[in-house]
Amino acid sequence: MIIQLPTATPVLQSQEPPLLELRGISKSFPGVRALQDVSFSIWPGEVHMLLGENGAGKSTLMKVLCGAHQADAGAFFHRGQPVQITVPSDARKLGIAVIFQEFSLVPYLDIAQNIFLGRAPRGRIPGTLDRKRMLAEARRVLDLLGMDIDPRTKLHRLGVAQQQMVEIAKALSQDASILVMDEPTAALSERESEQLFRVMARLKAQGVAIVYISHRMAEVFALGDRITVLRDGQRIRSLLPHEASPDALVQMMVGRSVDMTYPRHFTTPGETLLDVRGLSAASGIHDIALTVRAGEIVGLCGLVGSGRTEVARAIFGADPVISGEIRVFGRIHHGGPEAAAKLGVALIPESRKTEGLALNRSVADNIVSAGLPKLFRFGLFSPKRARDIARDIIARLSISAASTQVAVGTLSGGNQQKVVIGKWLAAKARLFILDEPTRGIDIGAKAQIFALVDALVASGAGVLMISSEQSEIVHVCDRAYVMRDKRIVGELQRDELTEQNIVLLGMHDA
């Protein structure tokens, strides 16, 4: 993509205090330190690029900035004066407007009503809207973005790109002095992106500060006046664009590998368990080809939204396949999830709490749940047999549970994940598809999960593993496929498998 930003005059930070300064911001969620002592300043008229891998803390920082999350520690300064941002209205009063990636739009309101939700111009009769002014104002902002569309159009009639433009219009209409954009061009066409960049240039000239999160290297250098790199919830560096090359930025985003032992015994792979050719699915993935052999852990990486989960779902039969062929254990598989499970394919979903486990049922119930027809003859359930199977799995996976009868919801995240894997082991699965198996799990439990996965493949199973944590892929996988924009853009063999290579392949226009 070619980006021209008409008047990109670099703004240097002046002697004045910054428009907004964040000092020592920390924010934790249960089990995760999302932000750790992050400081960050924005001056008027600058575009400040925020870079980092998935989970580096960009989105959390943004949500703290707009009052959606409350920081655990740290201080905010507006033009040098200490201020508080604890609720969204605080941020709005300071002139902060946010363009969200998950849209903050209401489907059955029209464009104008969406743009002015919560701050509509009032009519002469108390409690009414000034519809005329609302439409005129909406028209003005839409024109600014070059959108030729009736502001009375209901939002649910718009495509994703147009909805993104409305989200942008909503932020612009607030006449904000600080505009935060979370990957605004991810859903836009080239023409729309360029229109957005022209608007950004105009806003810059008016002294608006823009915080811009992007995964596109070209944008980072074309638009950015300053760049801040986040990694693992910490600020790694803030620098000017001419001080860094794309390679150096990638290096900063990836960092040195975290010190962690990955128990893995590489062996020569056996027969092909999964063979996918030319697979396209209704979910948008296109022309996917991949193989998994017995004894292998194969990584599937790429940015969030690049289509990794969709590939897993299509293979499992959860999404309609448009074309292509899936061979499982040498046989063509074109059935739904039930048929896949019967064949011995296990999909361990990312959101194990909602998709993988019945949290208020016992460990035993969960462990036998995937293999009921295989484990119990004539459709008769036997609690004793269920307990025996559960005991065996608990011992084999060293799950720490008080008994087979405690509710799964009471176990720790790592043990819950083991129960999910255990239920497919009990069902005698041989091909495991793991979607982010270590999300929300602490380091110690991670090592145990990987030891378990290693034991799985050593016993002749094959694993396809989706992970956003590239260090995991690098250390654990035999090979990895990298996805971008719903396609596989490259395959990395063991000797080429480095975090740099993954990031370079997965980045847009890198």
Partner 1 sequence: MLDQILPTRHPLLVRIPGVVVMLAVLSIGFAWASPGFLSWPNLSNVLAQSSVLLLIALPMTLVIMTEGLDLSIGAVLSLASVSLALVAVTTGSLLLALLVGVAIGAACGAVNGWLVAWLRIPPFVATLGMFGVAQGLALAVSDGQSITGIPTSVQAMYSGTLAGIPVPILLMLAATLAMHALLYATPFGTYVFALGGNREALAFAGISQRRVLLCVYTLAGAMGGLAGLLLTARLNSGHPSAGIGMEFDAIAAVAVGGTTFERGNGWLPGTVLGVITIGVLRNGLNLIAVPSSLQVCCIGILVILAFVFEAFTGERTGAQV
Residues at the interface with partner 1 (CB under 8 A): 66, 68, 87-89, 92, 98, 100, 102-110, 113-114, 117-120, 122-123, 127-129, 131, 149-150, 152-163, 189
> CB of 442 within 8 A of CB of 230?
no
Pick 45 or 151: Cβ nearer partner 1:
151
Coil vs helix vs strand at 169: helix
Pick 164 or 416: Cβ nearer partner 1:
164
φ, ψ of residue 48 to 5 degrees: the values are -105, 115
Torsion of CA 459, 460, 463, 469, to 10 degrees: 40
- Strand 462-466 vs strand 431-435: parallel, antiparallel, or unpaired? parallel
Least distance between partner 1 and beta carbon 191 (Å): 11
Pick 131 or 374: Cβ nearer partner 1:
131
Pick 34 or 158: Cβ nearer partner 1:
158
**Alpha carbons 145 and 172: distance in angstroms, whole number:** 9
Containing 319, the helix (H) or strand (E) segment is none
Pick 92 or 204: Cβ nearer partner 1:
92
Least distance between partner 1 and beta carbon 159 (Å): 2
Least distance between partner 1 and beta carbon 125 (Å): 9
> CB of 199 within 8 A of CB of 165?
no
Q: Report how far apart, in Å, the C-alpha atoms of 118 and of each of 132, 170, 462 are.
A: 17, 11, 53
Let me know how long the chain is: 510
Pick 134 or 298: Cβ nearer partner 1:
134
Least distance between partner 1 and beta carbon 409 (Å): 20
Partner residues linked to 299 by β-bridges? 465, 480
Least distance between partner 1 and beta carbon 311 (Å): 20
Least distance between partner 1 and beta carbon 180 (Å): 12
Pick 104 or 323: Cβ nearer partner 1:
104
Strand order in the sheet with 487-492: 345-348, 431-435, 462-466, 297-302, 479-484, 487-492
Least distance between partner 1 and beta carbon 171 (Å): 11
Least distance between partner 1 and beta carbon 410 (Å): 23
Pick 188 or 301: Cβ nearer partner 1:
188
**Alpha carbons 328 and 315: distance in angstroms, whole number:** 9
> CB of 73 within 8 A of CB of 22?
no
